[in-house]
Amino acid sequence: MKDIQKIKQRFGIIGNYIGLDRAIDIAVQVATTDLSVLISGESGTGKEVFPQIIHQYGARKHRQYIAINCGAIPEGTIDSELFGHEKGAFTGASDSRKGYFEVANGGTIFLDEVSELPSATQVRLLRVLETGEFIRVGSSKVQKTNVRVIAATNIDVTYATKEGKFREDLFYRLNTVPIFIPSLRERGEDIYLLFRKFAYDFAETYRMPAVSLIEEARHILLNYSWPGNIRQLKNVTEQISVIEKNREISVETLRSYMPDYQSVKLPAIIQRENQKPFSSEREILYKILFDMKNDMNDLKKLVVDVLQKGVDQVDVSESNAQLIHKLYQSIDSTVVKEPAKTIEVQPDRSEIQDTEEIVEESLSLMDKEIELIGKALDKHHGKRKYAAEELGISERTLYRKIKEHDIN
């Protein structure tokens, strides 16, 4: 515990949350090895401090340490930045250049937001991790490097691998030792400790008295969700320190810097691992239609069981009783090929009887054509012009069809 407190003082880490102490302990233990480390946690939780702990407490502390934000480098130049390039490798490459993996040979490279790496760069990185080999852009010469790789991400990489956005083999190679950094909302009283630290720092920077919170405002500070984590808390503290003339901050003042504050923490919607989000309204509509189709098929099967086994031998719920009565009339004769039967369903002792005979439906196109023409003529009282418009054909074609099929 004393060692952890020394580490906190050295790297400016504030807080006593057990999850934070656990992350520091893992970082110190893994520092003496050359294992790859993947640091995960929400944006703004302070993930960039832990690679420095690992580097400073390891055997490479006297060698180069390079931190790279993968999301800040354009996709077209990321390979050149990491692995270097030869003269003339691409437009603008007037000289050869060493990449970070060559410069940091013997030291440590921290790849922040590693999930932002393009697929081709992920393949190159995997080769470095497995064999220590890389090739400059525009070269065919294989070079060696001895670099320890520490990566960080603020997304669920497991889900990204299932979606095909991140290589699974690279994930397992980086995730040899995982370190999770807890969010600020989980750390309880650490929030107030951080606020006080930032308040005193800004008071010294701007040469003014430090701000403080009344008891009710402190309660609000601890119950806020802090979606931006430590970065957001520091930003809010700096705004209050500079803008507010009154050094004692009230509830109303603090809330004005938290427009989305809610007095009651609402449960968050969690995306299940096997649950894919809908990308469009069309997919939602398809899902609804498929569910309706499955429900209709289930009800039809239920009616078939009632017809074949009898209502006494089939479990029929009260809510399905009326639906069975309606669906029974529309069951395809190809599924049920039995003579007419009487179905009796008795939910709540109320009796429903149906003695309608199922007549096999003709599938002949000619018969369907005659039937549709007859219905159109009946609907428009024999007026061929309107009947033809209803059927979507010309009046001359309708006249020919009437004559061909001898329709009265």
Q: Are the beta carbons of 158 and 171 closer than 8 angstroms?
A: yes
Q: Are the beta carbons of 185 and 226 closer than 8 angstroms?
A: yes
List, for residues 359-401, the tens digit of each pLDDT value. Answer: 455 556 777 788 888 888 888 888 888 888 888 888 888 888 8
Contacts made by residues 122-131, CB under 8 angstroms, sequence distance 24+: 122/166, 122/167, 122/170, 123/167, 124/79, 124/82, 124/83, 125/82, 125/149, 125/170, 126/167, 126/169, 126/170, 126/173, 128/101, 129/36, 129/170, 129/173, 129/174, 130/173
List, for residues 251-272, the tens digit of each pLDDT value. Answer: 999 999 987 766 545 444 444 4
CATH level 3 topology of 185-256? Helicase, Ruva Protein; domain 3 (1.10.8)
Measured between alpha carbons, how far is 338 from 252 in angstroms, rounded to an integer?
76
Measured between alpha carbons, how far is 83 from 135 in angstroms, rounded to an integer?
7
Dihedral sign (CA 55, 60, 61, 66): negative
List, for residues 109-158, the tens digit of each pLDDT value. Answer: 999 999 999 999 999 999 999 999 999 999 999 999 999 999 999 999 98
Q: Which residue has the higher pLDDT, 288 or 243?
A: 243
Q: Are the beta carbons of 184 and 191 closer than 8 angstroms?
A: yes
| DSSP label at residue 366 | H
- 185-256 has the same fold as 2-182: no
User: So where are the chain's domains?
Assistant: 2-182, 185-256, 281-354, 365-405
> Nearest 5 degrees, angle CA 169-CA 175-CA 177?
150
CATH architecture of the domain with range 365-405? Orthogonal Bundle (1.10)
CATH architecture of the domain with range 2-182? 3-Layer(aba) Sandwich (3.40)
Q: What burial class does residue 134 get, using C-beta atoms within 10 Å of its C-beta: 0-12 exposed, 13-18 middle, 19+ buried?
A: buried
State the pLDDT confidence band at 312, using cuts at 50, 70 and 90.
low
Measured between alpha carbons, how far is 253 from 243 in angstroms, rounded to an integer?
11
Is pLDDT at 316 greater than 60 in this prediction? no
Answer whether 0.95 is exceeded by the pTM: no
